[in-house]
Amino acid sequence: MTFQDIFKSSFLKNVASVSILDMLLALVLAFAIGMFIFLVYKKTYSGVMYSSSFGVTLVALTMITTLVILAVTSNVVLSLGMVGALSIVRFRAAIKEPLDIAYLFWAIAVGIVLAAGLIPLAVIGSVLIGIFLLVFVNRKSHVNPYIIVINCADHDSEQRAIEYVKSHVNRFVIKSKTAGKGSVELNAEIRMKDDNTDFVNALTDLEGVRDAVLVSYNGDYMG
């Protein structure tokens, strides 16, 4: 065995399987689109506690996926080994918001498409997805169901409150009622006519109505 034979290995042959230009172009585009995904996520987030680390994860996931797919497409044997290696990985992090799953798949899909060389598909597809999310996720509709909780003093004030609310909403359905000595609590589902919630303020001015709370089904509190 000569000195030259020592360095004739498949490992060194794979060094030039992906050009430097291809790597830089793919990773730069992955970073740019990953930042776009991060900005869309930041604009459309509607949860209770915003996590900046998840946004950074989206950028990193886009670049990591691109890196992995570049390696897989350059070597068939490596692709089989990669599938076996990734099949034993288990993620235990809980996804709190259902929409976060869409962002994760978006980042992974962009990384795969970019590494496959389908740059127009990755760019145009990401722009369209981003516009869709910005338009529909932040859209507030008054036809969404709300729960109104009314605390009254007696039966007469209860009836006044019910009639008043019915005159200001399109739908009023009692879900539960709790009655006690000197207290009646109503929980009703309503569909509002518009996005104006001032009728809740005026509701508390009725005689016998102690307080009223308007709650959105998606966790937002209004009133």
Q: Where do the structural domains in the chain lie, given as residue ranges?
A: 16-136, 146-222
Chain centroid to CA 218: how far? 13
Check if the beta carbon of residue 150 is closer than 8 Å to that of residue 134. no
Tokens 């799953």 belong to 101
Q: Which two tokens stand for residue 154?
A: 């007696």
What is residue 139's predicted lDDT score, i.e. its pLDDT? 65
What is residue 86's predicted lDDT score, i.e. its pLDDT? 57
What is residue 33's predicted lDDT score, i.e. its pLDDT? 93
CATH class of 146-222: alpha beta
Contacts of 66 (CB under 8 A, 6+ apart): 26, 27, 29, 30, 110, 111, 112, 114, 115
| Distance, CA of 155 to CA of 61 (rounded, Å) | 59
What is residue 67's predicted lDDT score, i.e. its pLDDT? 85
pTM higher than 0.85: no
What is residue 29's predicted lDDT score, i.e. its pLDDT? 92
Residue 164: Cβ-neighbour burial (10 angstroms; 0-12, 13-18, 19+): middle
| Distance, CA of 44 to CA of 95 (rounded, Å) | 16
Amino acid residing at 22 = D
Taking CB atoms within 8 Å and a gap of at least 24, the contacts of 52-60 are: 54/100, 58/34, 58/103, 58/104, 58/106, 58/107, 59/31, 59/34, 59/35, 59/107, 60/34
Considering only CA atoms, which of 47, 217, 223, 199 is closest in space to residue 147?
Answer: 217
Residue-by-residue pLDDT tens, the chain, 223 positions: 554 554 455 555 555 566 778 788 888 999 999 999 999 988 887 665 667 788 888 899 899 888 888 877 766 555 555 555 555 556 566 666 778 888 889 998 998 888 888 889 999 999 999 999 888 876 655 567 888 899 998 888 888 888 999 888 888 888 888 888 888 898 888 888 877 888 888 888 888 888 888 887 654 434 3
